[in-house]
Amino acid sequence: MLKVVILAAGKSTRMKSDRPKVLHAIAGLPMLRWVVEAARALSPDEIIVIVGHGAEGVRKEFAPDKLTFVAQEPQLGTGHAVLQARAALAGAGQVAVLCGDVPLLTADTLKRLAECHRDARAAATVLTTVLEKPAGYGRILRDERGSVKAIVEQKDLKPGQERISEINSGTYLFNGPELVARLDRLTNANAQKEYYLTDVVHLLAQDGQSVAAWCCEDSREVLGINTRRELAACDKIARWRVVEQLMAGGVTVLDPENAYIEAGVKVGRDTTIYPYTAIHAGVQIGERCEIGPYAHLRSGTVVGNDCKVGAFVETKNAKIGDESKAGHLAYLGDVTLGKDVNIGAGTIVANYDGKQKHKTEIGDEAFIGCGTVLVAPVKVGKRGQTGANTVVPKNKDVPDDTIVVGAPARVLKRKA
């Protein structure tokens, strides 16, 4: 039986945030979501999340996910965190420990760690990497034969040890009973007065147990997030991965560095995404579309095939039928567009009356003139047309095959 423990109780002082660190977004999804998804690759019997700081928020966000939450109060270190799960770990042959603040770890790497652990028949296997700038991370100490004998935290380094470039990623596989038997033996006799999980490695080595290490080649995968700066760096890497996947699926992304596409976005082949376009998690876009530059597609947007969502167009809960076009400067919220609809520049769907959101429907081949305001709830029929600067009041539906106009300019006075 394999169980996963994800550590997510820490305070994260350096984020200077009221929000729990693991709920900060990476490519649009909470950091912890990425870790949970990676953990699932090991097909564990149970995923246990240790929560403390901001526990309520974390439990709420992940309520539908069938995770076991274990509280750690107060937070006395990573070893103390795992200790809280002792009862839940009874009977687990293997225990994987992951950090909630290391979101870029891939399922592939976790599987390799598991293989390495199995092949080495080790009591514990640590996922490590080599960093040019290892400062801040725990360092891996090996004996003459190369086996791991301890992990030393940055603040406990002895002179010379700061040069060690192999670091602890905070990800491990343990033989379950060997781990549990040592949790009680941890002490907080260190610089931070914390119960370090990393000391389990030392205890195992002292007891003559073998500790293996799997060194991850792509060190970006194990970047830990402790500051907003690291958050931004990881977010960028995650978004790049999203863009890479889209490109592999036949999407043209002009200037990927300047596309803000969140995880879980679906885009069809031969669609082009122009720069400075933000596309939120869950948005779906069909084939052969042109999106952006400077478009903002928010949640609930579903775009058909051969569509255009151009510059400074914002959509939210918008279903856009095939061949429909909103070329420039529009807001389309809570709206359904049929096929081959043309949305003129400056069109606003006024979906919010100050209290509630209302829906708008625009039929096939409708032609909405520039500067039209559609006050929801309202419908425009098939081939319905509005003149420039028309205001269509709520519930004053435009029938099929009908042109409406409104608010033409009139002479106010002659100046001379």
Helix axes 107-120, 31-40, angle to 10 degrees: 50
CA angle 211-212-213, nearest 5°? 130
User: Of 92-131, which residues contact ligand UD1 (CB under 6 A)?
Assistant: 99-102
The stretch among 89-97, 164-172, 357-365, 407-415 that binds ligand UD1 (CB under 6 A) is 164-172
Kindly write out the interface string for residues 212-241 of this chain, putting x where it contacts ligand UD1 by CB under 6 A and - elsewhere: ------------x-x---------------
Catalytic position from the list 117, 202, 328, 358: 328
Contact at 8 Å (CB) between 336 and 359?
Answer: yes
The stretch among 20-28, 128-136, 220-228, 390-398 that binds Ca ion (CB under 5 A) is 220-228
Size of the site for ligand UD1 (CB under 6 A): 29
CA 42 to chain centre: 20
The stretch among 31-39, 224-232, 266-274, 369-377 that binds Ca ion (CB under 5 A) is 224-232
304 binds ligand UD1 (CB under 6 A): no
- In the complex with ligand UD1, the residue whose CB is nearer, 168 or 347, is 168
Contact at 8 Å (CB) between 172 and 125?
Answer: yes
Binds Ca ion (CB under 5 A): choice among 79, 100, 138, 224: 224
Quick one: which of 374, 375, 363 has its CA closest to 399?
Answer: 363
Out of ligand UD1, Ca ion, none, which partner does residue 338 contact, by CB within 5 to 8 A per kind? Answer: none
Out of ligand UD1, Ca ion, none, which partner does residue 168 contact, by CB within 5 to 8 A per kind? Answer: ligand UD1
Quick one: which of 383, 395, 388 has its CA closest to 350?
Answer: 395
The stretch among 76-84, 336-344, 384-392, 404-412 that binds ligand UD1 (CB under 6 A) is 76-84
CA angle 378-382-388, nearest 5°? 65
170 binds ligand UD1 (CB under 6 A): yes
- In the complex with Ca ion, the residue whose CB is nearer, 75 or 226, is 226
Contact at 8 Å (CB) between 78 and 194?
Answer: yes
Out of ligand UD1, Ca ion, none, which partner does residue 151 contact, by CB within 5 to 8 A per kind? Answer: ligand UD1
The stretch among 11-19, 114-122, 123-131, 223-231 that binds Ca ion (CB under 5 A) is 223-231
197 binds ligand UD1 (CB under 6 A): yes
Please, what is the minimum distance in Å from the beta carbon of residue 75 to ligand UD1?
3
Instruction: Please say if 80 is a catalytic residue.
Output: no
- In the complex with Ca ion, the residue whose CB is nearer, 224 or 292, is 224
381 binds Ca ion (CB under 5 A): no
Q: Which residues contact Ca ion by CB under 5 A?
A: 101, 224, 226
Catalytic positions: 328
Q: Which residues contact ligand UD1 by CB under 6 A?
A: 7-10, 50, 72, 75-78, 80-81, 99-102, 137-138, 151, 153, 167-170, 196-198, 224, 226
